[in-house]
Chain A
Amino acid sequence: MSNQIYIDESRANALLARPRFSIPEPITSPNQSQAVLQMTAAYVYALTHIELSKTIAAIFQETNQGVTDPDVCVLTHVEPSKTIAAILQKIEESVTDAEMYDDNESRPTEDVVRGIKELVQGTEALLPGVRFPTAIVRPLDGSIRITWVKESGTVRLVYSENPVDRYIFHEEVLGGRSYSSGIDRHPTPRSLASWLEWLNSR
């Protein structure tokens, strides 16, 4: 069970400025994952923003009934490596790191770097407030590979110069072994967002 929920930073600050939590209206959707409202109470968990809004509303209903303690919430920042935006920096670092390449290995072209960044940026816009497993970024033979791994699954975006060689690989993992894998050969922000939401829900 996670004990973290995400809300917009300005909303979080406004809430924390209150002597008690008394939300006049339910929060309907989280915004960008700029802040996390970390609950020390054990009953909070939310992995999708739909569940999140329900959970937040439920929490505050309870707090309004005097269940909580004034010190229950602490505002912290989301770990940078867990946001999609942070991947842009990782892409830059990995493609410029000479140790990431074998002798005579092709480097990703500027078009490949720009293309995968645009795809990631487009995906971020479709996933407000969602956190992910830490991404691993690696160049390989002119392509760039971004992998999100959980114990229960993997999503990997592979972006090459040739559109035919671009894909999203996804697999479910059970007991440390893959038992269902596939490839989406048309990676778009929407398809990547869909697979990342799938991974996040597992």
Chain B
Amino acid sequence: MRSKKWIGDDGTTVLAEAYLRRPTDTDGLSVGTTPQAVKGLLLRVKGIAILRVNDIRTITNMDTRIHLDVVLNSDSPTHGNINTGIPYLSDNPILAEFFAGELARISKLLTENDT
């Protein structure tokens, strides 16, 4: 997570804001397969959240019945995106907020010791 604003005020929870797809997220929501892979993205990292892929796949768009999924990059298999059906916040706020909340609820914020 690149920003402090994505972490709750208590410093232990991941907020829905972490999973809102913004204009710069052209390929979806970026993920790494391990904490080390996330650190390797050379981004400014304020924290790392862990999500189980199986849990991500249980999150479904109630209208289309399409579930979220993680697609790994062919050229960098330790990195990928959650990119099936997550709309930009500006395009579909209700669905974007719904997905963001669901992803936040299945997230666990890793501590420094975890990473």
Contacts and interface: CB of A to CB of B under 8 A. Distances in A.
B3 A178 contact: no
Contact of A171 (B3, B9, B101): B101
Which of B8, B20, B101, B106 has the largest count of A CB atoms less than 10 A from its CB?
B101
Interface residues of A, number: 28
Interface string A183-202: 10000000000000000000
Nearest to A99: B4
A194 to B, nearest CB: 18
Nearest to A97: B4
Nearest to A104: B24
26 contacts: A94-B5, A97-B4, A99-B4, A99-B5, A101-B5, A102-B3, A136-B8, A136-B15, A138-B5, A138-B15, A139-B5, A140-B5, A140-B17, A140-B20, A141-B22, A147-B15, A154-B101, A158-B93, A165-B90, A165-B93, A169-B93, A178-B101, A178-B102, A181-B101, A183-B94, A183-B97
Interface residues of B, number: 20
A103 B57 CA distance: 31
Chain A, interface SS category: strand
Nearest 9 pairs of A and B residues by beta carbon: A99-B4, A169-B97, A100-B5, A183-B94, A138-B5, A181-B98, A138-B17, A176-B105, A102-B3
A163 to B, nearest CB: 14
Nearest to A176: B105
